[in-house]
Amino acid sequence: MEQHSFGRKLRGLAVILSIFTWGMGHAQDRPAYVLFNANGKKISYKKLLSTVADADVVLFGEQHNNPIAHWLELVVAQDLAARGPLVMGAEMIEADDQTVLDQYLRGGIDQAAFDTLARLWPNYATDYAALVDLAKEKGLPFIATNVPRRYARAVSKGGFEALDTVPTAERAWIAPLPIAFDPDLPQYVKMLSMMGDHGTPDVVKAQALKDATMAYFIAQNAKKSSRFLHFNGSYHSDFHAGIAWYMQRLRPELNVVTIATVVPEQLGRLDAEYKGQADIIICVDAAMPGSY
């Protein structure tokens, strides 16, 4: 495990070095990223921070291999932690690993044990460990919001009916049943279309199960007296659908701000297809190397 973790750290260092080298050669020509609001107006990081600071819940939509998004997630988390009470949560850790996550945050187990006991993503060490370690350092709650993958897999094959056999005790890791579902939401329609022959209504229902469960755990832990910063794939919150749609049903009184990460061909302006995708849109130069 230590050798595997060391290898991941080396890959992370390689990505950082490649970004630095890329930046040295391109800084005079163009920025690595540009921020826009939903209407396509360029904004500063200061404006981004003031917008998310006024939110009750921030859905930070990333592309999972995008180093700029991961860097900005950490920067935003650090800045929000300095401004008052903060709760963090992530798609990348599943709800049934919350107990192990809490043990790590309290110092009851070390990183090696956490790596062993939790089902962490392959890019956890390079892309998400810093976020969890920030929560540990600052004594902040970190919520494992995603549904255990075995249940999403079951729904993708057998629909929501597959959840009927889930033991009562394990239903604590899933949004309350029955799961509300609107197949006509644009993102679900688009998902089914993009998958072509590989797509089925049940696969879309599995996506909805993830969205509903993440929204449920956010709603359970969000408070008006603090901010909840959630990290998820951009598709889970684009166009205020997915998690945001379920949040509106669960906690309509909360101010939910969304962020999306996109990789357009040019950064000078926001292409029409991205307008309205989120309240804040991070456009990353297409030449930026991925973290994996």
Tens of pLDDT along 99-117?
999 999 999 999 999 999 9
pLDDT at 199: 76
Share of the chain above pLDDT 90, in %: 84
pLDDT band at 28 (very low <50, low <70, confident <90, very high): low
On the CB side of 197, how many CA atoms lie within 13 Å of its CA? Answer: 0
- Is residue 14's pLDDT more than 90? no
Query: Given this model, what pLDDT does residue 97 score?
Result: 98
Q: Specify the pTM.
A: 0.90
- Looking at 26-30, 164-168, 240-244, 275-279, which range is the least confident one? 26-30
Residue 213: band (very low, low, confident or very high) from pLDDT cuts 50, 70, 90: very high
pLDDT tens profile 149-195:
999 999 999 999 999 999 999 999 999 999 999 999 989 999 988 88
Would you place residue 83 in the very low, low, confident or very high pLDDT band (cuts 50, 70, 90)?
very high
User: What domains does the chain contain, in order, with CATH numbers?
Assistant: 2-284 (3.40.50.11550)
pLDDT of residue 25: 45
pLDDT at 2 over 70: no
